[in-house]
Amino acid sequence: MPDGAGGFTAEPEAVMTGATGLKIAADQLEDAGKELRDALAAQGECWGNDDSGKEFAKDYVPGSQGAVEAFGSLVEGLRALYQNVETAMTTITAAEDQAATTFTKGP
């Protein structure tokens, strides 16, 4: 939240509690991506090898591969976002601790 000095405040514990949703979502998306990959693999090349099957495969194969890869990218992105939030909260906590120590000891 903005404060009067143009900065912000954060409650690291509350932020990290909320950020766990990112990890949960990443795990769920990873599971869903695996299920999708397995389901697509189980279907095999069911479209056949005739002209219409080959035409179908031109779009289907790259599209299905792209969908599986997209799940992986989403998982990586969510996990990286969680890591960035964790790093930011660790940095804020360390800065607050340092400031508290400095002000307690005095000059």
How many separate domains does the chain show? 1
Task: For residue 98, tell me if it sits in a domain.
Answer: no
Domain assignment present for 83 = yes
Which pLDDT tens digit goes with each residue over 41-87?
A: 999 998 999 999 999 999 999 999 999 999 999 999 999 999 999 99
Tell me whether residue 82 is in a domain.
yes
The pLDDT, as a whole number, for residue 8 is 72
Whether the Cβ atoms of residue 26 and residue 75 lie closer than 8 Å to each other: yes
Asked if residues 26 and 78 have their Cβ atoms less than 8 Å apart, the reply is: yes
Domain annotation covers residue 53: yes
* Torsions phi, psi for 29 (to 5 deg): -65, -35
Domain interval for residue 52: 27-90
CA 24 to CA 6: how far, in whole Å? 33
